[in-house]
Each structure stands twice: as structure tokens, then as C-alpha cells.
Amino acid sequence: MDCIFCRIISGEAPGEIVYQDDEAIAFRDINPQAPTHILIMPKSHIPSIAEVEDYGLVGRLVNIANELAKREGVGERGYRLVINSGPESGQEVPHLHIHLLGGRVLGRLG
């Protein structure tokens, strides 16, 4: 298995896991871009949002992200959810994930 996120999910690689259930997991980004930077993803290997078939799963991942934002204390202040998909987005890890960013003023998208 050469997917780093699959290896974290299986326990073969370390990760600072903050949430998991049967189908989803969330852990802190190793290179945080904000005081709160958590990655929320399915445990099954879906390469990108462009390859999703179960849109209910996407809604459940967003629900987890919203709950984690509250738990992290950024729910009221505001936060950003980001999904990169494909080369020009800068997606580095081809395992669908939502970035939860918060805890500082986030710049305009560009």
C-alpha cells in the first residue's frame, strides 16, 4: 500500500488522530497552515472528490468537519473547508480529504 493516508488509517504510519468512526477518520496535518489544520477523509481509498459516487458520504465528512471546528473552538470565529482535486489544484495526496483550517484570519482565495 503506497498511499500515506491509507497507512495512517491502517495504523502502519503515525498520525495524530482526532476522530474516527466506521467509515471516516480525521487527523492533524503534518505541516499545518493554520493553528487548526485537520484532514477529514473516508477510510476507503477514493482518489479525489472527482471520483466520488456516494455523495451522502461527502455530507457526513462535512458534518464531521463542522463538529471538529466546534470542538477546536473555531466554530464561531470562522473556518475554511478545502478540497483539492487534481494536479492544478495542488492535490499532493491522492486520497480524498477535506482540509479544516481555522484559528487565524484566512486570506482570500487565489
Measured from the CB atom, the residue of 29 and 67 that comes closer to ligand AMP is 29
Q: Which is nearer to ligand AMP, 12 or 76 (CB)?
A: 12
CA 92, CA 105: separation in Å to the nearest integer?
24
Burial of residue 103 (CB within 10 Å: 0-12, 13-18, 19+) is middle
Please give the residue ranges that form the binding site for ligand AMP (CB under 6 A).
Answer: 4, 15, 29-31, 39, 84, 90-93
Cβ 85 to ligand AMP shortest distance, Å: 9
Separation between Cα atoms, residue 54 and residue 69, nearest integer Å: 23
Q: Is 45 known to be catalytic? A: no
Q: Give catalytic residues, as residue numbers.
A: 97
